[in-house]
Amino acid sequence: MNDYSVGFSEVKSIKDSRGVSLKDFLRTLDINYLEVWVSIIGAYAVLFAVCYLIVQIERESLLLLSVVVTISGLLIGFVVAYLSLFFHEAAHYNIASNKNLNDLLANIFIGVLVGQDVKSYRPIHMRHHLYLGTVKDTENSYFNALTPVFILKSITGIYVVEVLLGRLKNSKVKEGNEEGGAYFNVITLLGLLFHTSVVLFAYRIECYSLAVSWVFGVFFVFPFLGAVRQIIEHRDNNADNNVDYYTNNHGAITRNFGRGVFSRLFGGAGFNLHLLHHWLPSVSYTCFYELEDFLLNTELAGILYERDSRYSEVFNNLLASNARD
């Protein structure tokens, strides 16, 4: 089924059963900036609460500390992964009404955390929309089969090293004579400084469990979750695991994952309705539920039902596909 992950313009003139056109409906949507910032600030509150808890139990038993470090590292990685999704919103100018303010806030609150500058990331991300499913896609974790080996490489940081080495080799995305943004810049350096400062602060106050939890969460759990999430969003269940999709087009496919609590956290900032974003990239995620309700009353309802799934379901299906290959 063609889900119009690319080429949505073919059906953009649709109307709902009342005769209201999509174009007219989109004019009624307004970005809820309060919702955006409540989510971002709330995530930071959780992050600080986890770190505070680690400091408070630093003197407890080694067994308890081991459990806390593991759980805290997972939580830190999960929260950072959640926050990083708002950087994607900022790439579409959807976290502040003024574009310059949008980019400034994005770099301060998220860019330093993930080591990227939003202005540099924007052209890289736009090529993901333009070249989804092709070898030119610039966000291509889904080229990898979701195998136990890939999961192990992701959670141990090996995959991240491979990606970084690839980016160092091709530090800029180019298309013809058009140059994209640099992967590494001053925000990257500020990000390294920030994370180093957190670790050094933890050592300064002799809270070694905080240092370990932070490194585990930020440099291992966060990249792992990001890679797996993108595979679940875009990899075809029938993809041939023996095919190298870095040299052969995978084909465009995008999924939605419902409105449950886990879907809204793991797929924060509207990633739980990722197909809607690929259809209408400029629409804020704060409008997605209204948009989905409208589209379910159009000829696109069948595609939405077909592409609706759950993260766990797709994860299990992709793992199971390895056994068939």
- Give the residue-averaged pLDDT of 49-67: 79
The per-residue pLDDT for 86 is 97
Task: Report whether pLDDT(159) > 70.
Answer: yes
pLDDT band at 23 (very low <50, low <70, confident <90, very high): very high
* pLDDT higher than threshold 50 for residue 177: no
Residue 176 has a pLDDT of 39
d(CA 294, CA 219): 40
Q: Please report whether residue 250 resides in a domain.
A: yes
pLDDT at 151 > cutoff 80: yes
Which of 102-106, 147-151, 312-316 bottoms out in mean pLDDT, i.e. has the lowest? 147-151
- Give the integer Cα–Cα distance in Å for 166 and 278: 26
Greater confidence (182 vs 208) lies with 208
Q: Does some domain include residue 309?
A: yes
Among residues 80, 107, 83, 84, the alpha carbon closest in space to that of 96 is found at 107
Q: 73-82: per-residue pLDDT in tens?
A: 999 999 999 9
Q: Of 272 and 7, which is predicted with more confidence?
A: 272
For residue 2, is it within any domain?
no
pLDDT given at position 323: 55
Check pLDDT > 80 for residue 198. Answer: yes
**pLDDT exceeds 70 at position 61:** no
pLDDT of residue 181: 52
> For 131-140, how does the pLDDT look when each residue is reduced to its tens digit (9 = 90+)?
999 999 999 9
In a domain? residue 163: yes
pLDDT at residue 126 tops 60: yes
21 has a pLDDT exceeding 50: yes
Instruction: Tell me if residue 204 falls in helix, strand or coil.
Output: helix
pLDDT at residue 208, rounded to an integer:
87
pLDDT tier at 179, thresholds 50, 70, 90:
very low
Tallying the residues shown for the chain, one arrives at 325
Tokens in use for 20?
């209201």
Helix (H, G, I), strand (E, B) or coil at 256: strand
Q: Which domain holds residue 12?
A: 8-324
Q: Burial level of 26, CB count in 10 A (0-12/13-18/19+)?
A: middle
pLDDT digits (tens, 9 = 90+) for 279-325: 999 999 999 999 999 999 999 999 999 999 999 999 999 987 765 55
SS3 206: coil
* Residue 52 Cα distances to 42, 46, 59, 208, angstroms: 15, 10, 13, 13
What is the pLDDT of the chain when averaged over all its residues? 89
pTM of the model: 0.91
Whether residue 211 lies inside any domain: the answer is yes
Let me know if residue 93 belongs to a domain.
yes
The CA distances from residue 309 to 47, 89, 255, 273, 276, in Å, are 29, 22, 7, 10, 14
- For residue range 221-273, list pLDDT tens digits in order: 999 999 999 999 999 998 998 899 999 999 999 999 999 999 999 999 999 99
Residue 173 confidence (pLDDT) above 60: no
Does 64 map to a domain? yes
Count of the separate structural domains present in the chain: 1
| Burial class, 229, CB count within 10 angstroms (exposed 0-12 / middle 13-18 / buried 19+) | buried
pLDDT confidence of 178, banded at 50, 70, 90?
A: very low
Beta bridge partners of 15: 21
In a domain, residue 1? The reply is: no
Tell whether the model's pLDDT for residue 22 goes beyond 70.
Answer: yes
Q: Is the pLDDT of residue 25 over 60?
A: yes
**Res 28 pLDDT > 90:** yes
Structure tokens at 83: 């926050």
User: Confidence band (pLDDT; 50, 70, 90) for 9?
Assistant: confident
pLDDT at 180: 46
Handedness of CA 288, 319, 2, 282 (dihedral sign): positive
